[in-house]
A and B are shown apart, each in its own frame.
Chain A
Amino acid sequence: MANKHANGGGGITRRSLLRGAGALTAAGWVAGFSGGWILRPRGAFAAAPIKFGVATDITGAIAPSGNSNWQVIQLAVKKINDAGGIGGRPIELYLEDTASDPKVAVGNVLKLIQQHKVDVVVGGITSAMREAIKNPIVRRGKTLYLYPQLYEGQECTEHLYCTGPTPAQQCDELIPYLMNTHGKKRFAMPSANYRWPQLLNKYARALIEKNGGEVVFEEYYPLDQLEYSATVAKIKSEGVDCVFNTIIPPGLQAFTKQLYESGFQKDGGAHTCVYFDENSVNYVPERELEGVYTCLDYFHTVDDPVGAQLQKEYAEMFPGTKYLFTAGSAATGAYRAVKFYEAAVKKTGGDLSREAVSAAIDDVAITDVPGGDSRMVPGTGHCALNMYVAQAKGGSYEILSSANMVPPQECG
């Protein structure tokens, strides 16, 4: 209990205060309130801009897909703005990173809705992300939401439109093809443990059993599981001839590696994964992708002049980018979302209120999109798409069969 002034008791001295304050100001963060990425249209426009929100995974496990979405949306919006905008109004883009983490995403999406007050949001890639952000956007934010990715279906929320393929669109072509053309009868379903694989597997199973096949096992793993030796051993020992894979990153890379190293594909086994596309080389080495079957709404090898032209413009706008304009990453869905929105706003004559645009977008068709024309099926919130069954061969995809304007068969 000595002299109180000698800082024995832990009071403030000038030194300690400076130290403390210095630490904080060395961090120096008195940044302003506004932020996020904003892309303003170049050039002079007379009318007020349309605010277009993008909430996608720029960082995290799903970043390769998220970044390709963001770049493709920029391309789509640039083309629209270069042509004079929608009814003379330019589009202003606002991006928030959902970081492949639904908990973080909910907060960031709030910024788009409440701070920037966007008129529409395109975004979400995994179903987990969509489930997390659709509430802040659609219900609390009362904003139109366009979801661009292939998914498990059964999303019938009002004012939520899906511009990617549904299970019906993907499986109805792919599974009969594998079973009838390639004689695959014994299926394994290694899956990530969340909504999309669960519902997709249900649909696929019904189709497999209808065609006389058998699901040998259907297992669910945590998203970050890296140990698949038991799974692969079961695949080999049970004589599985087709793996219907719904594992997603970060577990995906470990699974494909272990499957490849077991020699499954070499022995004639078929590996199919409905979200694999040209962008997948950003997740998985090319040799492990070789021979994989998939069914999507667009591939670079599809004979499609619109698609080819867009690829050229994309390469010009983002030279040397590793994020490709592909279908499995939701990029084509994102492009379609922008075009659907444009068509809807043209139809409403510039009225951006959610009710008006939603009513308009419900029954609209678009051309000038990769993969072929598309049309919203009224009352369902989903669109009919051209679907292509393809197989990975040496880095690109060989189209094996195609079907035009396949109906989504959702919410009907």
Chain B
Amino acid sequence: MTETTANLADDKADGKQRPRLPLSVLPIIEIAMLALLMLYPIFITYLTAEGEALDFNNYFVVRVTSIILLAMLAVSFDLCWGYSGIMSFGQALFFGIGGYFVAKLSEETGMTSMLIIIPAGMLVGLISALLVGWFLLISKRTPTIIFVALGSLTASFAAERLVAGWQWVGAGNGMSIWDFPTLFGTDLEPGIGFYYLAVACLLIAYLASRYLVRSQFGLALAGIRQNEDRLAFLGYRLQAFKLIVFSFAGLIAGWGGAIYAFHEGFVGPATVGVTTSTYAVLYGLFGGVGTLIGPVIGAGVIEGLTVILSDNETLKAYWPIALGAVMLVVVAYQPTGLVGLLVTQRERFGSFGIRKGKKSSGTDDAGKADGHD
């Protein structure tokens, strides 16, 4: 990184041509994913119409809406592990709590407005993450990765057992949400409208996360990720940073969980439990942590494979094994995930150098970080 800055300083001084930085693949992937998500319903409706009238609220649109909401869970995991070194093995806790909270709220008060569901999910996700993070992340000595991983896993497991035995939230049966959510008065049934709402939510959450990790704050996170101790010696309060990121991740997970509960019409102990938490980790690792778009792709591919494989006639009896094999192979041979196939290591880590085009004046700017380039 210093090499780049030094080069720029030299080249400007010499009047030479600046070396071209390698192409940034990540923004291309992000834009491609966005375009794919925006156009998918139209594309799939035409593809599966089979001569009948076009039905935009078809099964494939609804199925992918669920996947998009799970991608929000994946993004929240990436914020923790990919950017702050917090191996959150219990991210589904916040996802499920968001769902349970709005389900119970809807049951008690009959409210179904999306304008209440979303903030409620965010709020309860934030508060629960704050509480869990306070316990796990704040201490005299920075907790080890394994402590945080097992601690969050235990929290998720405990929550699952708790709701499975608590009649007020439906115990083992879970809670069925009978009503559709409403937006400005009209019912929002699962279908194309709901799909675009989910895409909008994912987009906003994604942009917010992206802004966070590419800001000054993100610079500190990059430092935490690379060498915690060094950053601590520089005077940064690591635990505060970690708690903030963890809470923000919890907010996003709760947000996704609240909408997910209303989309599926059902929330049960499994939603808040260990299996879903592990899936969050898998989406991240499979897609590529540290890139935000990686887990989104990971969620899409894994859930998509689940749907396709479980339908395939020959594989019906043992499709989970096939899926597990695929995931194992990718994680073992490609630790940087699917996105790592296309994105260089340098781009994943990011460089927080001088912004292109700004006049450099030697040592003054060499130390000044201007955000991600």
User: Is B326 among interface residues, defined by CB-CB distance under 8 A?
Assistant: yes
- A50 CB to nearest B CB, Å: 18
Contact of B309 with A19 in the complex, beta carbons under 8 Å? no
- B320 CB to nearest A CB, Å: 10
Chain A 14-38 interface residues, beta-carbon cutoff 8 Å to B: 16-17, 19-20, 23-24, 26-27, 29, 31-36
Which of B58, B59, B161, B178 meets A135, CB within 8 Å?
B178
Are A27 and B322 also in contact (CB < 8 A) when A9-B344, A193-B165, A193-B172 are?
A: yes
Which of B171, B334, B345 meets A20, CB within 8 Å?
B334
Alpha-carbon distance A127/B172, docked complex (angstroms):
10
Contact of A10 with B340 in the complex, beta carbons under 8 Å? yes
Contact of A134 with B189 in the complex, beta carbons under 8 Å? no
Residue of chain B at shortest CB distance from A140: B265
Instruction: List residues of chain A with CB within 8 A of the CB of B180.
Output: 140
Alpha-carbon distance A297/B309, docked complex (angstroms):
39
Alpha-carbon distance A12/B59, docked complex (angstroms):
37
Which of A9, A17, A194 meets B172, CB within 8 Å?
A194
User: Is B325 among interface residues, defined by CB-CB distance under 8 A?
Assistant: yes
Residue of chain B at shortest CB distance from A23: B329
Q: Which of A85-93, A107-115, A354-362 contacts B (4 or more CB under 8 A)?
A: A107-115
Which of A24, A34, A110, A136 meets B326, CB within 8 Å?
A24
Alpha-carbon distance A134/B190, docked complex (angstroms):
16
User: Is A302 among interface residues, defined by CB-CB distance under 8 A?
Assistant: no
Chain A 58-103 interface residues, beta-carbon cutoff 8 Å to B: 101-103
How does the 8 Å CB contact mask read for A122-140 relative to B, with 1 for contact and 0 for none?
A: 0000011001101110011
Alpha-carbon distance A135/B180, docked complex (angstroms):
10
Residue of chain B at shortest CB distance from A37: B316
User: Is B364 among interface residues, defined by CB-CB distance under 8 A?
Assistant: no
Residue of chain A at shortest CB distance from B338: A20
Contact of A132 with B62 in the complex, beta carbons under 8 Å? no
How does the 8 Å CB contact mask read for B254-266 relative to A, with 1 for contact and 0 for none?
A: 0000000000111
User: Is A222 among interface residues, defined by CB-CB distance under 8 A?
Assistant: yes
Contact of B311 with A36 in the complex, beta carbons under 8 Å? yes
Are A222 and B333 also in contact (CB < 8 A) when A33-B48, A136-B265, A192-B172 are?
A: no
User: Is A287 among interface residues, defined by CB-CB distance under 8 A?
Assistant: no
User: Is A106 among interface residues, defined by CB-CB distance under 8 A?
Assistant: yes
User: Is B88 among interface residues, defined by CB-CB distance under 8 A?
Assistant: no
User: Is B173 among interface residues, defined by CB-CB distance under 8 A?
Assistant: yes
User: Is B268 among interface residues, defined by CB-CB distance under 8 A?
Assistant: yes
Instruction: List residues of chain B with CB within 8 A of the CB of A26.
Output: 329
Contact of B312 with A29 in the complex, beta carbons under 8 Å? yes
User: Is A6 among interface residues, defined by CB-CB distance under 8 A?
Assistant: no
User: Is B341 among interface residues, defined by CB-CB distance under 8 A?
Assistant: yes
A-B contact count (CB 8 A): 130
Instruction: List residues of chain A with CB within 8 A of the CB of B345.
Output: 9-11
Instruction: List residues of chain B with CB within 8 A of the CB of A111.
Output: 59
User: Is B9 among interface residues, defined by CB-CB distance under 8 A?
Assistant: no
Alpha-carbon distance A193/B189, docked complex (angstroms):
32
Chain B 239-274 interface residues, beta-carbon cutoff 8 Å to A: 264-266, 268, 270-271
Alpha-carbon distance A185/B235, docked complex (angstroms):
74
User: Is A179 among interface residues, defined by CB-CB distance under 8 A?
Assistant: no
Instruction: List residues of chain B with CB within 8 A of the CB of A17.
Output: 341
Alpha-carbon distance A118/B338, docked complex (angstroms):
38
Chain B 173-197 interface residues, beta-carbon cutoff 8 Å to A: 173-174, 176-178, 180, 189-190
User: Is A273 among interface residues, defined by CB-CB distance under 8 A?
Assistant: no
- A252 CB to nearest B CB, Å: 14
Which of A1, A19, A128, A134 meets B333, CB within 8 Å?
A19
Interface size on B, residues (CB 8 A): 51
Residue of chain B at shortest CB distance from A111: B59
User: Is A366 among interface residues, defined by CB-CB distance under 8 A?
Assistant: no
Instruction: List residues of chain B with CB within 8 A of the CB of A352.
Output: none
User: Is A178 among interface residues, defined by CB-CB distance under 8 A?
Assistant: no
Contact of A195 with B173 in the complex, beta carbons under 8 Å? yes
How does the 8 Å CB contact mask read for B331-350 relative to A, with 1 for contact and 0 for none?
A: 00110101011101110000
User: Is A364 among interface residues, defined by CB-CB distance under 8 A?
Assistant: no
Give the size range of A's interface with the partner. 35 or more
User: Is B66 among interface residues, defined by CB-CB distance under 8 A?
Assistant: yes
Which of B59, B176, B338 meets A132, CB within 8 Å?
B176
Residue of chain B at shortest CB distance from A196: B173
- B334 CB to nearest A CB, Å: 5
Alpha-carbon distance A128/B175, docked complex (angstroms):
10
User: Is A223 among interface residues, defined by CB-CB distance under 8 A?
Assistant: yes
User: Is B60 among interface residues, defined by CB-CB distance under 8 A?
Assistant: yes
Contact of B341 with A12 in the complex, beta carbons under 8 Å? yes
Contact of A101 with B270 in the complex, beta carbons under 8 Å? yes
Residue of chain A at shortest CB distance from B344: A11
- A198 CB to nearest B CB, Å: 8
Contact of B322 with A106 in the complex, beta carbons under 8 Å? no
Which of B62, B271, B325 meets A114, CB within 8 Å?
B62
User: Is B104 among interface residues, defined by CB-CB distance under 8 A?
Assistant: no
Contact of A35 with B172 in the complex, beta carbons under 8 Å? no
Instruction: List residues of chain B with CB within 8 A of the CB of A128.
Output: 172-174
Residue of chain A at shortest CB distance from B329: A23
Which of A24, A107, A132, A220 meets B66, CB within 8 Å?
A107
Contact of B266 with A106 in the complex, beta carbons under 8 Å? yes
Are A131 and B173 also in contact (CB < 8 A) when A29-B322, A33-B60, A222-B161 are?
A: yes
- B167 CB to nearest A CB, Å: 8
Instruction: List residues of chain A with CB within 8 A of the CB of B58.
Output: 114-115
Instruction: List residues of chain B with CB within 8 A of the CB of A107.
Output: 63, 66, 264
Are A23 and B326 also in contact (CB < 8 A) when A102-B174, A106-B265 are?
A: yes
- B141 CB to nearest A CB, Å: 32
User: Is B3 among interface residues, defined by CB-CB distance under 8 A?
Assistant: yes
Residue of chain A at shortest CB distance from B50: A34
Contact of B172 with A20 in the complex, beta carbons under 8 Å? no
Instruction: List residues of chain A with CB within 8 A of the CB of B264.
Output: 106-107
How does the 8 Å CB contact mask read for B51-66 relative to A, with 1 for contact and 0 for none?
A: 0000000111011001
User: Is B305 among interface residues, defined by CB-CB distance under 8 A?
Assistant: yes
User: Is B366 among interface residues, defined by CB-CB distance under 8 A?
Assistant: no
Instruction: List residues of chain A with CB within 8 A of the CB of B34.
Output: none
Contact of A139 with B330 in the complex, beta carbons under 8 Å? no
Q: Name B residues whose Cβ lies closer than 8 Å to a Cβ of A.
A: 3, 48, 58-60, 62-63, 66, 161, 164-165, 167, 171-174, 176-178, 180, 189-190, 264-266, 268, 270-271, 305, 308-313, 315, 322, 325-326, 329-330, 333-334, 336, 338, 340-342, 344-346
Supply 5 further A-B pairs (C-beta < 8 A) apart from A27-B322, A31-B308, A114-B62. A36-B311, A102-B268, A111-B59, A128-B172, A194-B172
